[in-house]
């Protein structure tokens, strides 16, 4: 199994490029680009659908048949405004032109081209507060299983300082619907303030064949091939992460760690 933490390549325009081959799994692909004002990127989707999430900045996005102009409101994810995103089907292409410096996430999973390209604006993003007390966090459902896509699921989460997220620990690594679905997952983390900031991310399974506790910095990606995966934000630092999930069935059904399920009561 590869190292679960992927550090950004800060010298390149594409700072992350997680593929099924590099991750050792089958479904999830994830890229992050930093594009300077006036520059652009182009790519073909091939046998994957893509959800382009404008993490920060303003941009124009074109696909083969559609044009979405003047997208973007937030200049930092920590403004906590739901993002602009564009869904791009398989066997299509996209071009993203940066009207300001931008950071763009490309969230990918296998598809056949069943749906059309579309804009997912801030008003289309479902917002909810999940958990209670020191387990509370704010969730932006960018592309949940209730919205049209073939494989990919996308969500972003804000965790206040001192709180736990993806908690109580849960997993989704077994095909056992309607009780649990199999979904691979990536976490793209950011920490505020970034200087000196860190998070704690643990990934473990029931037999402890996998049991890693990691110190994670801003812009790191954590891969979750299986198991439970809680995140902790230390005092003084608030956390953000963008999740991408995909599996054989596009349904998010999770199983809580029985040792910690009492916290829900």
- Is residue 242 a contact partner of residue 53, using CB atoms and an 8 Å limit? yes
pLDDT at 8: 97
For tokens 């960018």, the residue is: 142
Q: Which long-range contacts (CB under 8 A, 24 or more apart) does 192-199 make?
A: 192/78, 192/218, 192/237, 192/238, 192/239, 192/240, 193/237, 194/218, 197/237, 198/234, 198/237, 199/231, 199/232, 199/233, 199/234, 199/237, 199/239
The order of strands in the sheet holding 118-120 is 14-18, 29-35, 102-110, 48-56, 85-88, 118-120
Ranges of the chain whose pLDDT falls below 50: none
Superfamily classification of domain 5-264: Jelly Rolls (2.60.120.10)
Alpha carbon 30 to its chain centroid, in Å, reads 8
Q: Would you list the domain boundaries of the chain?
A: 5-264
For tokens 């630092």, the residue is: 237
pLDDT at 2: 61
SS3 (DSSP) at 76: coil
The DSSP bridge partners found for residue 126 are 141
pTM: 0.96
Q: Which of 19, 30, 5, 33 is nearest to 199 (CA)?
A: 5
pLDDT at 265: 86
SS3 (DSSP) at 147: coil
């Amino acid at each position: 199994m590869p190292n679960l933490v992927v550090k950004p390549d800060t010298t390149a325009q594409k700072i992350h490029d997680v593929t099924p081959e590099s991750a050792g799994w089958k479904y999830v692909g994830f890229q992050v680009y930093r594009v300077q004002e006036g520059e652009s990127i182009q790519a073909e989707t091939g046998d994957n659908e893509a959800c382009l999430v404008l993490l920060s900045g303003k941009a124009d996005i074109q696909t083969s048949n559609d044009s979405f102009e003047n997208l973007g409101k937030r200049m930092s994810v920590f403004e906590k405004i739901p993002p602009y995103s564009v869904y791009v089907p398989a066997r299509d292409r996209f071009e993203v032109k940066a009207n300001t410096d931008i950071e763009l996430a490309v969230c990918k999973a296998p598809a056949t081209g069943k749906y059309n390209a579309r804009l997912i604006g801030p008003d289309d993003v479902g917002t909810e507060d999940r958990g209670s007390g020191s387990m509370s966090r704010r969730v932006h459902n960018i592309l949940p299983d209730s919205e049209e896509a073939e494989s990919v699921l996308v969500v972003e989460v804000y965790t206040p300082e001192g709180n736990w997220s993806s908690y109580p620990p849960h997993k989704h690594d077994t095909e056992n619907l309607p009780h649990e679905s199999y979904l691979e997952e990536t976490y793209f983390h950011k920490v505020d303030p970034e200087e000196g900031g860190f998070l704690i991310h643990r990934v473990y399974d029931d037999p402890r064949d996998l049991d890693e506790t990691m110190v994670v910095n801003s812009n790191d990606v954590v891969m979750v091939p299986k198991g439970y995966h809680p995140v902790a934000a230390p005092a003084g630092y608030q956390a953000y992460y963008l999740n991408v999930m995909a599996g054989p069935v596009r349904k998010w059904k999770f199983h809580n760690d029985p040792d910690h399920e009492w916290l829900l009561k």
